Amino acid sequence: MIDPKKLYKLAVLFAAVLVSSCITFDEEPEVPVDPGKDPAESVDMTLKFVLPADATAGKTAWVAGDQIVVHGEYAADQVTVTLEAGDISADGKTATHEVKGLLPYVNEEYKSNLYASYPASAVDNLRHCFCYSKFSTTNAPLMAACNDDDTFRFKNICGMVRFIANGNFDSFTLSDTQSGAKKADIGYEFLQVKITDTEQNLNQYRGDPLKIIEVPFKSGESIVYIPAGVELPKGLSLKFRKDGAAVKAFNVLDPVSISAGSMLDLGDITASMQDYDDPLSDKIPDLGKNGTANCYIIEAPGVYKFMAVQGNTKAYVGDAATAEVLWETWNNGEDVTANSVVKSVLYSDDYIVLHTPDVLHAGNAVIAVKDAEGVILWSWHIWVPETKIGTGLYGGIFGAEAMSRNLGALIDAVAGSETEDSRSFGLSYQWGRKDPYPGPKAIKSSSPATVAGAEAEVAPGQISIEESIANPLLMGHINNGDWFNDEDNTRWSNTEKTVYDPCPPGWRVPKRDSTVPFWGSNLSTAEGWQADFTLGWFTIGNPVSVFPVCGYRDDYGVSSFTHVYDRALYWTAYASSAAKAYGEDIRYDTEKGALKQAVLTEAPKARAAFIRCVAE
């Protein structure tokens, strides 16, 4: 029969071989119960503790009261040394202290047999700790060492970020500038390192990673400790918090490399800190709270946010870095003042945060997020109406609740005695695209409404989906066909709201249903039909809904509008072929002075027409 004591010694030896190998784990390894050691094996020594050679960073001098843990094989036998003033050298770099009751860990592979960790308050060694030092917190000036006879020469475990800041804050956070899961690991719930006379591993075992380190704030100097160092190719971000929200920020947008023992000194950053709207704060209304979309409506001045996801999905747009306003329009021919619709916009922590002016100016804007190289990853339409948008069934003209105006219109169209106001036209859309283009600037005008910012561009031919996302103002086209260079009839859908649907949350491009009045065989026979093509309006339904006769942007070049006042095209979500989709086509016969036709028809997808959103 095998002697139980021998069996236990074999188990311990096997465990030691495993732990001293190059295998690493993300979780604490299993450890045997401490059997205890004979106190007669203990030794008394006068030990010398030497700070790292690079002690200009991190802990630069020992002081009375500093506590160091010294251990051998088992945590139960470790000793905590408390330094006294008389132990410390004049320059503070070395301390000498008599230590009693040490139980060395003997291993043939190492000359070292004792191990030290600082600060003791952060040490949480495993019961069977061998030559490891385990730390229960990682935002501290962590140091570890092995003995060379009676001397411990400490090594810094952490890299450091130092700065000076003054202000009235509760705390600050340090993180990668990237968002969500893309953030680098800059701390851990625990960290265990291995330092012997022949081997060093500053990241041997680690707990769950920390993407953000939060530290209580005090005016003056602050140092943040990053275990084992870190590479931050997108830079780092400091955010200063008050009453539960970040209110100031300081960013380093250049790549940052912080190795163990090194210090990134940012200097005094007080004057460079910028006002910050914390997207994680509940104080900022979330435009996408009830559903994400490619369009959001704003009806009051203020600060707003929404998640940077692809349209009507939860898929993030990618490695975003910045946000900007691409263009704004007031839906008419007036010269548009830049930042009059959207004052400012920023990207942070997977959110877009935007400010309106203190007094709203009705209009439309398109904002985009870009990656670090300036490539647009996605864009969104911000709709600021002048009057409240109404809704209704209007006698079931669409078979669902509908908006009282076109998508992007600032006011409702009026069936009156005056020429229709261009602010009622709304924005124009190529079939299957999420991004809008301005409508015409006036009745009988072929010119688009004026914009501040980038102007629409006409591509020499068809373009891809990827090109349309990266260039939301680029209009692909082909005569009597699609703007898209491949066949796809699912960009909008008759059955569900798609990722490219341009309507706000809760609304969608109407489906084609020939049983409802608006998509019937002849719109002019429906209840409520009335039209004045001289003034540019028609009505349908009970109660009536008013529609402007605002032409369309032709597929032959797509550079200008045509038939503004005597023709209009309203899209459905249904594609009839690779080249065409269904829409309601209203035409006035200028020679006969009467309606020529108002029927559901097929139109080229490259044509930019109008949308009346209906409830999902």
Q: Which pLDDT score is estimated for 37?
A: 56
Q: What is the pLDDT of residues 582-593, one digit of tens each?
A: 999 999 987 788
pLDDT of 25 over the 80 cut: no
Q: With CA atoms as reference, report the closest residue to 527 among 380, 342, 396, 354.
A: 396
Query: Across residues 573-590, what is the average pLDDT?
Result: 94
- DSSP letters along 147-213, please? EETTEEE-EE-EEEEEEEE-SS-SEEEEEESS-GGGSPP-EES-EEEEE-SS-EEEEEEE-SEESEE
List pLDDT tens digits, range 403-462. Answer: 999 999 999 999 999 999 999 999 999 999 999 999 999 999 999 999 999 999 999 999
Q: Is the pLDDT of residue 352 over 60?
A: yes
Query: Which residues make Cβ contacts (< 8 Å) with residue 175, sequence separation at least 6?
Result: 183, 186, 211, 212, 213, 236, 237, 239
Question: In terms of C-beta density within 10 A (0-12 exposed, 13-18 middle, 19 or more buried), how is residue 2 classed?
Answer: exposed
325 CB contacts (<8 Å, ≥6 apart)? 338, 339, 342, 344, 345, 365, 366, 367, 453
Closest by CA to 145, choosing from 112, 187, 105, is: 112
Neighbours of 111 (CB within 10 A): 13
Question: What pLDDT does residue 500 have?
Answer: 98
Of the chain, the end-to-end C-alpha distance in Å amounts to: 77
Task: Say which DSSP state 440 is in.
Answer: B
3-state secondary structure at position 472? coil
Q: What is the pLDDT of residue 558?
A: 87
| Cβ count within 10 A of residue 48 | 18
> Given pLDDT bands bounded at 50, 70 and 90, which one contains residue 531?
very high
At residue 227, the 3 state secondary structure works out as strand
What proportion of the chain, given as a percentage, has pLDDT over 70? 93
Query: Distance between CA 609 and CA 108 in Å, rounded?
Result: 81
Q: What is the pLDDT of residues 168-188, one digit of tens each?
A: 999 999 999 887 777 899 999
Per-residue 3-state assignment (H helix, E strand, C coil) for 553-564 = ECCCCCCCEECE
pLDDT at 120 over 50: yes
Where along the chain do its domains lie?
A: 22-156, 159-176+210-275, 295-615
List the beta bridge partners of residue 160: 225, 263
Q: How far apart are CA 408 and CA 423, in angstroms?
A: 9
Work out whether strand 376-384 and strand 363-370 pair parallel, antiparallel, or are unpaired: antiparallel
Contact of 86 with 77, CB cutoff 8 Å: no
The arrangement of secondary structure in 159-176+210-275, i.e. its CATH architecture, is Sandwich (2.60)
Q: Cα separation of 156 and 554, whole Å?
A: 68
Q: Is the pLDDT of residue 161 over 70?
A: yes
Longest CA pairwise span in the chain (Å) = 117
The mean pLDDT value for 452-473 works out to: 96
Mean per-residue pLDDT, 117-123: 98
Highest CATH level, class, for 22-156: mainly beta
pTM: 0.79
Are 22-156 and 159-176+210-275 equal in CATH topology? Answer: yes
- Binning pLDDT at 50, 70 and 90, where does residue 54 land? confident
Task: Say yes or no to pLDDT of 13 above 50.
Answer: no
- Would the CA dihedral through 254, 260, 264, 270 be positive or negative? positive
Please state, in angstroms and rounded to a whole number, the distance separating the CA atoms of residues 379 and 502. 11
Residue 5 confidence (pLDDT) above 80:
no
